[in-house]
Structure 1
Amino acid sequence: MDITKTLQDSVIEIAKLQASDFDGLYRVANDKALWADHPAKDRYKRSEFEKWFESAMDYGSTLKIVDRTTGEIIGSTRYYDYQPEREVAIGYTFLSRKHWGGETNGRVKKLMFDYAFQHVERIWLHIGPDNIRSLKAAEKVGAVFSHSETKELAGSSLEYCCYRVDKPA
Structure 2
Amino acid sequence: MAMDRQPVLEDDRVLLRPLAEADREALYAIASDLMVWEQHPIHDRWRREVFDAFFDDGLSSGGALAVIRKGDGEREDRIVGSTRYDAYDEEEGGSVEIGWTYLERAQWGKGINPAMKRLMLAHAFASVARVDFRVGDTNWRSRYALEAIGAERGPRYELERYQGKRVVHLVYELTREAFEQGPLTGD
TM-score range for the pair, normalised by the shorter chain length:
over 0.9
Count of equivalent residues: 168
Which residue pairs with 1:109 in the alignment? Answer: 117
Shift of 1:35: 0.5
The separation in 2 between residues aligned to 1:46 and 1:8, in whole angstroms, is: 30
- In structure 2, relative to structure 1, the CA distance for the partners of 1:112 and 1:34 (3 Å cut) is same
Partner of residue 92 from structure 1, selected from 92, 100, 111: 100
- Give identity over the alignment, percent: 32
Preserved CA contact (<8 Å) 2:37 2:44? yes
Which residue pairs with 1:52 in the alignment? Answer: 54
Give the unaligned 5+ runs of structure 2: 181-187
Higher Cα Rg: structure 1 or 2?
A: 2
The separation in 2 between residues aligned to 1:65 and 1:151, in whole angstroms, is: 29
Deviations 1:51-105 (A, max 9, x none): 1111211222211100111321111111111112411110001111111122111
- In structure 2, relative to structure 1, the CA distance for the partners of 1:16 and 1:124 (3 Å cut) is same
The separation in 1 between residues aligned to 2:119 and 2:25, in whole angstroms, is: 25
Q: What is the TM-score when the length of structure 1 is the normalising length? A: 0.92
Which residue pairs with 1:165 in the alignment? Answer: 174
Partner of residue 146 from structure 2, selected from 127, 135, 138: 138
1:62-77 superposed matches below 5 A: 62-69=64-71, 70-77=76-83
RMSD, matched Cα: 2.0
Q: 3-state DSSP class of the match of 1:10?
A: coil
Amino acid at match of 2:38: A
